Structure 1
Amino acid sequence: MANKVKFGLSNVHVLFIESYDAKTKKYTYDTEGIQAIPGAVNISLDPQGDTTDFYADNIAYFSQAANTGYQGDLEMALIPDWFRQKALGEKVDKNGVQVEASDAVQKEFVLFFEINGDTAKTRYVLYRNSVARPSIKGQTTENSISPATDSMTITAMPRENDHYTKGSIASDDTQHKAIYDAWYETMHEPDFTST
């Protein structure tokens, strides 16, 4: 049965992209594999791309929207230092100080997450992402403690080889349960060959 509503966010994971070979059209991924980032709070991504309208015969004769991916915010309880090092190119010096440089090389990554529904959970993958530096925030403690969160602006782009941007699978898809179960263990590559 299909979901009537969706709610919740959990299981945020990342897999860093090491390289892309334009000749073979293959991506190479980080040998550390898919890594969890605990503390998912909110994700809000808006579609990117302009719509072009062509008018003829006194009507909108043709309309086409470009799909250049998504952009928005991922809010986490705390962005871990290891993610900042890998995604934003921050480095730790010999004294243990994590340093951000203006010329740091950022690294693209695959983003995985899960949204619940009333009957099934849906797992998502955004195949190629970059992230902007998060803001630095802090607030004084008053009568009660209110945890502050970290937000990052995510840009989800189409892959260079096949132009895929996003994929998803629901927990009630019993025919493909193995794919759902291994979602955070191995990188699923879309397969459109006939069965």
Structure 2
Amino acid sequence: MPETQENKVLFGLENVHYATYTEADGKITYAKPKPLPGGVEISVEPQGDMIKFYADNIVYYQAPNNQGYEGTLTIANITEEFAIDCIGEELDSVDGVLTEKSNAKPKPFALLFEFDGDVKAVRQVLYNCTASRPTVASATKTDSTEPNSNELTFSAGPRSTDKAVKSKTSTGVTDTVYNNWYKAVYEKTPAGA
């Protein structure tokens, strides 16, 4: 039976995954999600302003303009697989060297993750993300060693097919949807299916 009690608080970040996708003939096909271990922090800021139309000396019409999100993911280390799949770095299979090129084209992906809750973790997916090159930084070791992390900035916009930006599990999520969240990118079940 689906959980009916709502979380009072959310905390933590875990189970960060990504899934590349292709679009052909108006249909999006997602690859199987791959883990992106070491998630430290994620922050997504909404993009788009409130549209206001003035008439009769008042705000006659207003509506939000949802243009998705701008986000930052702090992660222990960007995996080579993610760098190749999403950022567009190239792997020389003979020498084993990753190369970043100025004309690299980032590839779109879905970003999946979850926040723990006092009742149940809330799983989320941003459907249409594009990442910028990650920040590269390190510092010398001192008497205490602190691990480095990488900061990845990304944009998450609406999908072209149905304008979906983000989905997340709710208190009424079915066990099937919840348990399969990281096996395939969630897609709404068509009516009558």
- Is residue 1 of structure 2 the alignment partner of residue 20 of structure 1? no
User: What's the CA shift for 1:50?
Assistant: 1.9
Partner Cα distance (1:88, 1:181) in 2: 29
User: What's the CA shift for 1:85?
Assistant: 0.8
Partner Cα distance (1:95, 1:194) in 2: 53
1:112-140 CA distances to partner (integer Å, 9 max, x unpaired)? 00001111210001111100001110101
1:35-69 CA distances to partner (integer Å, 9 max, x unpaired)? 11111100000111122212233322221111111
Partner Cα distance (1:34, 1:53) in 2: 39
Residue 99 of structure 1 aligns with an amino acid whose one-letter code is T
Q: Which of structures 1 and 2 has the larger relative contact order (alpha carbons within 8 angstroms, sep 6+)?
A: 2
Q: Which residue of 1 aligns with 2:51?
A: 52
- Is residue 65 of structure 2 the alignment partner of residue 66 of structure 1? yes
Q: Percent identity?
A: 37
User: Matched residue of 1:148: which SS?
Assistant: coil
RMSD: 1.5
Partner Cα distance (1:194, 1:43) in 2: 36
Partner Cα distance (1:139, 1:123) in 2: 34
Q: Which residue of 1 aligns with 2:76?
A: 77
User: Matched residue of 2:43: which SS?
Assistant: strand
Q: Which residue of 2 aligns with 1:43?
A: 42
User: Which is further off, 56-65 or 143-152?
Assistant: 56-65
Which runs of at least 4 in structure 1 moved beyond 3 Å after TM superposition?
none
Residue 128 of structure 1 aligns with an amino acid whose one-letter code is N
User: What aligned pairs does 1:111-122 form with structure 2 within 5 A after superposition?
Assistant: 111-122=111-122
User: What aligned pairs does 1:1-195 form with structure 2 within 5 A after superposition?
Assistant: 1-17=5-21, 19-21=22-24, 23=25, 25-30=26-31, 33-93=32-92, 94-170=94-170, 172-173=171-172, 176-191=174-189, 193=191
Partner Cα distance (1:187, 1:143) in 2: 44
Residue 156 of structure 1 aligns with an amino acid whose one-letter code is A
Cα pair 2:106 2:132 within 8 Å, conserved = no
Partner Cα distance (1:28, 1:121) in 2: 26
Unpaired runs of at least 5, structure 2: none
User: What's the CA shift for 1:105?
Assistant: 2.2
User: What's the CA shift for 1:5?
Assistant: 1.1
| Aligned residue pair count | 188
Unpaired runs of at least 5, structure 1: none
